[in-house]
Amino acid sequence: MIPKPQHKVSLLRFAVRTFLISAISTTLGQAQVAPAPAATDKSTTGETIQLPAFEVQSSKDKGYFAKKSVSGMKTSQDLLDMSANVRVIPRDLIDDIAAPESASDTLKFVVSGVNPYVRGEQMQIRGQRVGFTMTDDIPDLSFFADNAGIDTYEVLKGPQALLYGSNPSLFGLVIKTTKKPQPVFGANFGLSLGTDGWNRVDADITGPIGKGFSYRVVSAYQKSDGFSSAYRDNRRVVNSSLQWTNGKTTVRASYDWHQLELGTFDAANVIDNTGPTLKQYASPKGKNFAYKPDWGTYGLYFNDVRLNVTHQWNENWQTRVNYQRERGDRPSIDYLYVGTKDFVNDVLTLDYFDYDENFISYVYGTDNIGKYELGKVKLQTNFGYLYDTRKGIGETFTYTPAFITTSLKNPINFNTIAIPTSPKHKPAPINEDGVTQTLYFLETANFLDDRLIVNAGMSHIKATNTQSPANNTSDNVKRGGIVVKPVKDVSIYYGYATMFQATSSTTIDINGKRLPNRSGTGNEIGVKTDVLGGKVTATLDYYWLTLANIPVNSGFRNSSGVGYYILSPSRKYTGIEADIQMQLTNNWQLTAVFWKGKTLDSDGKRASNTLNDSAGFFTRYNFTDGGAKGWNVGGGAYFSGNRYFRGGKSFDSYTVANLFVGYKVNSNLSYTFRVNNVFDEQFIAGAWSPGDADVGDPRMMRLSVNYSFR
């Protein structure tokens, strides 16, 4: 899809930039010496096809280990050679964790310092909430998503603004790499049945069409009544892509359609704040009783159109051009949330709110990679441009404080409450909310037969936001790193980077004034190992970060019903992380992570809505001999430290454990039985504020059958 006419000037500039970059790449490429490494695959004709260095084709059936990154420097790189803690989670591990509804619920087990912020794609990294995830290196506005179409998660720790613009935070970035069309036929079908009305069907079909074309269609249907109406989670998902390649040029068009319906809203969970430990109020009606009627659906409907073109000019130089249009609607249809509560007098007041948000974004840009030699020095050049515009309208139809007052112990029958007859009018036109442009350059040099690796770069970020209150600004960000290998399989590294992020029109104080732009610096030092023939890989790091102008969600709304933020002038972040992956035997894999950090405000006190520690592991053992042949067992556990809020309040720490046992009948058919939250732990999984929290799922059991053709 071509962007609207208002983008003509930007598109012209983009076309000129792309042409010049491509011409420069071709010219420089004539002087190359060392060929760039490229993955290979076999087409249906037996021909060897050179695949782009920008992406991995498939991580399925390759276990829990991934030793290369495709997003840390926007091209294929050994993790051992990178001056940062970068983790890649392959599809096999994603399938074993089996949390299709949430990136945060997947990553918390297997990536140090990554914890849920609230349900869905919103998460904390190194003790601070980060923004949206990315899909195939392109900014993604979806705060709820399904991972049916995801091949890998890649978590990049530390500031990433140089390569990814101002959207990434100081703390890290999660990139979702999608499943790509394959040159041979394959199909996979799954059916899962679970407790609390959870049912799910998955399908994944790929294969060649002929004359260089191939396709992939991934779909999922989920029906989940949930353990309360607040947690209904129904999904319809389709991810489709069509690809053509001749070995040098690859063109891929993708269309994603997601329809997620997540219950009426979860903000009517009553949080008991009478003591220093915040917890869910134990209602006489049951611990998961929802203080609200089942009026409608809190949903997220979106569709994406993506176009990707990759061209290999010669053995060393490649160019990638991306385009994405994402359109979505977030209707919250007539819902109630907790306004005030009085546990002494047994009174609960609920506010009424009707809200609808529509948004659309256009993203396009180019990435270029070149590898060559000058003397005995191996060089890599990355440069490119990103244009990211998002438009939206958040519209409050009705906001009524103290709409209903009821008893906490003997609440009224909420389903008898009539929906208010508020006038519904046509949403206003979608107005431009923000445009970010990034021009970047990064140079990497390898000395002494890859024993010393140095990189440095800079990008210019220009942010324009016309929606009131307006914000037009620009800044430069820097990045540098060094990797030293005292022995072949051990690297010691240091990385430094800065970040800049323009605040959006919704990041306002109680008076509706936009908060200042955020800026920060990040430092990280660590050691990486890949020893015992590649059977043990590990990263241990220490980081120290500073951030200025942090918006803190107040948990309240102003007189107009708009949520507002409180400004924290500055923060300091320090911590240690450990990520270990082990192939204990040929049949036994284990990944374990640990994080402990501090987040201090400018007054030296612990920052609000932060964690200080977490840990997790996940493992799998396959039986290949004897009477147990074909069986496998596995599982994992996740520990979260307490979630602290200023004023001495906190949600308590908790641990959840998951287990599974499976049986592989043959190469096509397999069964898996899972128990999540084995000990039925009651906990708060995430929270916007002390009064607005997401209750964790109770014990859940699921039986899955999977059939594949290969």
**461 in a domain, yes or no?**
yes
Side chain identity, residue 64: Y
CB atoms within 10 A of CB 407: 12
What are residue 538's phi and psi, to 5 degrees?
Answer: -155, 150
Reduced to 3 states (helix: H, G, I; strand: E, B; else coil), residue 46 is coil
pLDDT at 41: 39
Dig out the tokens for 289 from the structure. Answer: 């009783």
Whether residue 105 contacts residue 73, with contact meaning beta carbons closer than 8 Å, is answered with no
Distance of alpha carbon 85 from alpha carbon 98, whole angstroms: 24
pLDDT at 81: 94
**β pairing state of 172-178 and 134-135:** parallel
pLDDT at 360: 87
Closest CA to 85 of 593, 613, 670: 593
Long-range contacts formed by 236-241: CB under 8 A, 24+ apart: 237/146, 237/148, 237/149, 239/148, 239/149, 239/178, 239/179, 240/215, 240/216, 241/178, 241/180, 241/181, 241/215, 241/216
Dig out the tokens for 516 from the structure. Answer: 């200042």
**64 in a domain, yes or no?**
no
pLDDT at 423: 54
Total domains, the chain:
1
CATH of the domain at 702: 2.40.170.20
Q: How far is CA 705 from CA 247, 614, 663, in A?
A: 37, 33, 10
Domain that holds residue 148: 5-57+69-172+180-416+429-709
**200 in a domain, yes or no?**
yes
What are residue 122's phi and psi, to 5 degrees?
Answer: -80, 125
Residue ranges in the chain whose pLDDT is less than 70: 1-52, 167-169, 227-230, 263-268, 393-397, 421-433, 466-470
Distance of alpha carbon 632 from alpha carbon 644, whole angstroms: 39
Dig out the tokens for 651 from the structure. Answer: 């949600």
pLDDT in tens, 421-454: 655 544 545 555 678 899 999 999 999 988 999 9
**12 in a domain, yes or no?**
yes
DSSP 158-210: S--HHHH-SSS-SSEEEEEEEP---SS-EEEEEEEEETTTEEEEEEEEEEEEE
Dig out the tokens for 668 from the structure. Answer: 């096509």
Closest CA to 119 of 695, 644, 528: 695
Reduced to 3 states (helix: H, G, I; strand: E, B; else coil), residue 591 is strand
Whether omega before 469 lies within 30 degrees of 0, making that bond cis, reads: yes
Whether residue 305 contacts residue 1, with contact meaning beta carbons closer than 8 Å, is answered with yes
